[in-house]
Amino acid sequence: MIKFTPFIVLWFVFLASKIVLSLHAGAYSNVSCFENERQALLEFKKGLIDNSNRLAFWTGQDCCSWEGVGCSRNTGHVVKLDLRNNVVFDRARLIFGNTLNYVSIYGETCLGGQISPSLVNLQHLHYLDLSSNYFAGIRIPTFIGSLKNLRYLNFSNAGFGGTIPPQLGNLSALEYLDLGKKLLTFSYDIGGYQLSTKSLWWATSLSSLKHLDLSGADLGKAQDWLQALNKLHFLSSLTLEYCGIYSFPYIAHLNFTSLTSLDLGGNEFNSTIPLWLFNLTSLVHLDLSGNSFFGPIVPHSLQHWTSLSYLDLSGNRFNTSLLDPLFTFKNLVHLDWSNNQIQGPLPFSLGNLTSLSVLHMGDNSFEGPIPSAIGQLRELTELDLSSNGFNGTIPSSLWRLSELKSLFLSDNPLSGELRDIHFAQLAQLKELSLSSTLLALNVSSSWVPSFQLHTIDMSSMKIGPKFPLWLQTQKRVESLDMSNASISDTIPDWFERQCHGIKSLYFSNNHMMGKPPVCKGNSGHEFRKIFFLESNKFEGPLQLLPTDISRLYLKNNSLQGIIPHPDINMTLDILRVLDLSDNHFIGSIPDSLCSLQMLVVLDLSNNQLSGRIPSCIGKLKTLGALLLANNNLYGHIPISLGHLNVLQSLHLNRNNFTGMLPFSLRHLKKLEYLDLGNNGLEGIIPSWIGDELSRLRILVLESNNFHGDISVSLCKLSSLQVLNLKDNNLTGHIPRCFNNFTAMTVTELDSNDNIYVGIYVTPLMTLSGTYSEELSVFIKGRMLNYTSSIVPYVRFMGLSGNKLSGEIPVELMSLVGLQGLDLSRNHLSGRIPENIGNLSHLESLDLSKNDLSGPIPQSLSNLNFLSCLNLSFNKLTGRIPSGRQLRTLDDPTTIYMGNSGLCGEPLNKSCPDESDGESNAEESDGDHEDGKESYFDWFYAGLGPGFAVGLLGFFSVLCFKKSWRYAYFGFLESLLNKAWVEIALLKRKFG
């Protein structure tokens, strides 16, 4: 009898495992394949685009040895084709354009092209994976439905588009089907391609299906989606995220009760939660986020979800009655209530969820203190209460949650002082976010924390004035945010030696002095490194420009000297954003900046730079924004700027540029913001601006020497929001076709309109992260600076300080979105258009110093937003209109000065008919009243000359008509005799 010693038992276990592994490996061993299947694979390869030559080794007779091909050991047939692309997502390599380049997302190993029908010859295939490749919107071939033995089919993130073929319903053996798009979380769509179907009834034939993922597909018209999927008895995982579903069809009986994972996020159901969901008693993972669900959840129904470990209810509108029932989930492991609109305090009964490991309640409207019962959740590893209204101090019980790895309490009005002892038990902590203006960190200089943090967010806390020495103990920090932290100190040398691994550094809005940190070294993620160091007191000069950082913001410091050369010892294709604006740099723009071949934003504005723009700037093919405003640059604008094909924003204003606009700028087809104001540019405004730059939204050419007529080609710029041509030598009439500026007719911004660079998601925004436009306009009598969040709403037209003549085109009155209109200091004549009241959003109107005449239209009083009005120094006449808004204007007398024909309030000049009761009764009809006054003015003016002309005519007749002359003087003599007789009688009577 054999005695089984522990050694022999272990030997048998080892031998058995080796046998199992060998059998498993043998299932796809390199046996010789069938010739017809080898030819099918070669035909399939011919149809593919394989830029990286992934399939270059598909040669020889033994196709079972080819990469991605697996054959059955027993039969030799091809049973597996795995050509998935192992993606490493690289956000730094995004390029400009309306869509993102698939190579930027999937890398060079991406397959594309066409799928050959030769695959039909692989009838023994049971595994097919083409995921994470890019097929540029082609349809899923219908012949895939002929592969009857398929059990696994994965086309996720493969760039397929069009209708999902119902022939997939023929795959009765299929257990795994994934056609989803997993990149939706990055807020863009690769190529704009989307799968869709009007019915899911074809899925009812997939009787063996266990896993189904259609995320990102358009199912908005598939009204039968629930009835169809309810027939899949073995379905355990269902993902329909962002599918455009908006309703739950009625089902009488629930069949897919074996479902363990359900994701319906991002579908905007806008309803209460359907009751059948509570019958899915096997659920472990449930995601209902972003659906606008509202109302309460029935308490006893929740008790069926006893197996639930992941629950995401973020982005809904549940009311507070949801909270207490959820405390019955004794076994709940993950709870996410983030991004809801739940109001009220956080209940103390939350402490009953003693098994909870993840609690996300961020971005809600909770108020009051954080309950001390939260300390009872001893298993918590993640706690997110950020972006709520929690106030008071942080309860001491929270600091005893020793298993915490992530703690997010930022953006709450929490207060108090945090000391060393608070963090003593948090040895597992990796992420800490405490951003609050009412919190202060007061720890000893010798404090050595028990944790090693990866993420630190203490922005807006009071940490200073000294630089925190405890950071020296943190060796693994990847993101550090201590912006606006009241630090008034130099950065110690040890920090530069330690910070090479930091990917995101935020020190902005402090009072840090000395030289800015360089943080040289290879972190392994150079393309992600972002340094925000703006608004400090760093002083220069800079020695070398670090190029191992993706985005470098040094705006608003005291740096001086010349702009340094890039560090040639670093890779030059990493730096995307360089912002050195608002400093004291002098000298010229160095040619060496042209070596930064991947630069997207270059901002050198508001310095004392001089010289010319280097012509080599035109080599920066990825440049999207060039900002050189408010320097002392001179010379002609380089022709080479026309080579910047993806440029969206060009600021050259407030310099000393001369000459005419180079014709090459017509090639800047994507330009949206062009500001060349306050220079010495000359010539006519070129017509190609309107003909070629069709995307322009902001055009500023003010304070130059442009002359001639305003080109009517500008009328083609339908997207124009701001047109500023002030203070030039322009002549002629205002083009009537300016009413084609349809963007100036917009009164409410469409949320779906990507209307402005850097505000909405545009390629420039994606690349630069926080780059945004700002706008300065002289309006309302002063210079106003509009921030990035306001710019999309600005509508302004400024033509003042020119030599324009003719009438104000009545067509301008259709630009109802205008907030500012400045036509002052020209030679405009005629009347103010009667329908000027149509400009209902007008806040500032300046028509001063022209030759306008006639009455002020009564409709002007309808402008309820008007806060600045100037009609001075014209030839206006009549009564000033009355109106509530007009009475609120500051210094009203200066508004109308220099118009001697105006009368009425607020002037100290009464109108001639002011005492006439009837006139006062008709005061509301200002147009008629003004017309009546004008009529009598002409009557009195013509009365004297008319009398003189009549008298002259009468005496002329007497000179040439003797009979009339005798009769006339006889009549006078007779009349005179009668008068003397009467006088004599009166004297006798009273004498």
Output the pLDDT for position 927.
Answer: 42
Q: How confident is the model at residue 4 (pLDDT cuts 50, 70, 90)?
A: very low
Residue 1 has pLDDT above 60, yes or no: no
Residue with the bigger pLDDT between 27 and 462: it is: 462
Average pLDDT of 12-31?
A: 41
Average pLDDT of 562-586?
A: 86
Residue with the bigger pLDDT between 188 and 761: it is: 188
Output the pLDDT for position 556.
Answer: 95
Which own/partner pairs from 353-357 qualify as long-range (CB within 8 Å, at least 24 positions apart)?
A: 353/326, 353/327, 353/329, 353/377, 354/330, 354/378, 354/379, 355/330, 355/331, 355/379, 356/332, 356/380, 357/333, 357/381, 357/382, 357/403
- Tens digit of pLDDT for each residue in 826-865? 999 999 999 999 999 999 999 999 999 999 999 998 888 8
Output the pLDDT for position 885.
Answer: 74
Most confident of 22-36, 79-93, 638-652: 638-652
Q: Is 744 helix (H, G, I), strand (E, B) or coil?
A: helix
CB 193 within 8 A of CB 170: no
- Tens digit of pLDDT for each residue in 935-959? 455 555 666 677 666 666 666 666 6
CB 463 within 8 A of CB 488: no
Residue 434 has pLDDT above 90, yes or no: yes
Most confident of 224-233, 270-279, 704-713: 704-713
Query: Which residues have CB under 8 Å from 509's CB, separation 6+?
Result: 483, 484, 534, 535, 536
Query: Which residues have CB under 8 Å from 202's CB, separation 6+?
Result: 166, 167, 168, 169
- Tens digit of pLDDT for each residue in 725-752? 999 999 999 999 999 999 999 876 543 3
Percent of the chain with pLDDT over 70: 75
Q: How confident is the model at residue 757 (pLDDT cuts 50, 70, 90)?
A: very low
How far is residue 722's CA from residue 480's CA, in Å, rounded to a whole number? Answer: 39
Output the pLDDT for position 674.
Answer: 96
Output the pLDDT for position 355.
Answer: 63
Point out the least confidently predicted range of 310-319, 409-418, 562-571, 921-930.
921-930
Output the pLDDT for position 352.
Answer: 52
Residue 374 has pLDDT above 50, yes or no: yes
Point out the least confidently predicted range of 81-90, 209-218, 463-472.
81-90
Output the pLDDT for position 766.
Answer: 39
CB 487 within 8 A of CB 510: yes
**The two structure tokens encoding residue 4:** 């089984």
Helix (H), strand (E) at residue 958: helix 926-960
Residue 604 has pLDDT above 60, yes or no: yes
Average pLDDT of 865-869?
A: 89
**The two structure tokens encoding residue 567:** 């560090």
Output the pLDDT for position 529.
Answer: 85
Point out the least confidently predicted range of 345-359, 682-696, 869-883.
345-359
How far is residue 70's CA from residue 27's CA, in Å, rounded to a whole number? Answer: 8
Average pLDDT of 544-569?
A: 88
SS3 content of the chain, % helix, strand, coil (to 5): 25, 20, 55
Average pLDDT value for the chain: 81
